[in-house]
Structure 1
Amino acid sequence: MMRAKLTGKSGMAAVAPARARQATARAAVHALCPARAVSARRPERSVRSYSAAQAEVPPLEEGSVAYEKQDYAVVELGGSQVIVEVGGVYDTNRLDAEPGSTIKLNRVLLVKNQESNDLRLGKPYVENATVEAEIVQHKKAKKVVVFKMQPKKHTRSKVGHRQHQTTIKVTKISV
């Protein structure tokens, strides 16, 4: 480590590390030019953080969707579990039904009734629970490109795939 000799008032030699000397040089530059007071090593970062007390949330109006308590259910749909609410629109794997028709989903894993604060959990399914939904449309999902290659072999294959999907709208949750 480099050391520099400093002479104080008493004339005695004192040894200070090189970093201290650099710090005093930086302080002298900052005193002459306050605009360069920010260290080049660590620039100041602007941090934006908001607490819940700072956010102004308007009160809920009667009749709004957020004001009304929503019932919800967890159903098995297209090989996956989906949390559904009345009026919600969901995409699932293709179902064999015509657009505009109504289907009943019997594989209900959980039902929550907000009015009575009743939660029913099935083992594995809730008995006598159904979710009615309307088929809105059939469509294809976004294309997924599968690209395989072996380096140095000039072997490449590029295959695209679009999954067939059905859009449904939940109309009723009953227990």
Structure 2
Amino acid sequence: MVLRDQRFDALFDKGDRVEVSPESARIMIQLADWISANNGMGLIIDYGADWTQGDTFRGIKSHRFANPLCSPGSMDLTADVDFSYLRFAAKDRAKCYGPIEQGSFLHSMGIQARLQQLLKSTADDKVQKDLVECYRRLTDVHSMGRVYKVLAVLPSSSTGAPVPFAQPTAVDPGNPTATDST
């Protein structure tokens, strides 16, 4: 199993508190095997980091953080994803690219052009304002744009990185309707 790898011995000392999800490794191995066997592709999008962390386990109740050990069954439980752990689980089974920040990924995939199309499709000022606000929430570095990450999983036989992972995209975060010049 992934937890028995020597890299963990080098990363942590006795007494260190870290969060590890063996079930995540098992699922990632199955996903990597399926993707390689079927020439598929997968995207894993979630909040987290590209290293093993501790103390990210938390409860959310009524849209507020709460002690995850209080009121069992009455709140959502969550923890940050360790993308390095997922990549490690998939090694020798599939190729992984990233993670990259969600904002960069969405800009590389053309979110600005899509926003421009949607803005042109309506004259309603409230709808336009809502569209821009949603765009900002998804892409802004102070919101989901930096917190959420995207990891691509491709067959082990694939060549070349997917477009969003190949090169960075220049974006003017202050002007979501500006055309990307890169």
TM-score range, shorter chain: under 0.3
Give the structure with the larger strand fraction: 1
Structure 1 length-normalised TM: 0.19
Structure number, greater radius of gyration: 1
Structure 2 length-normalised TM: 0.19
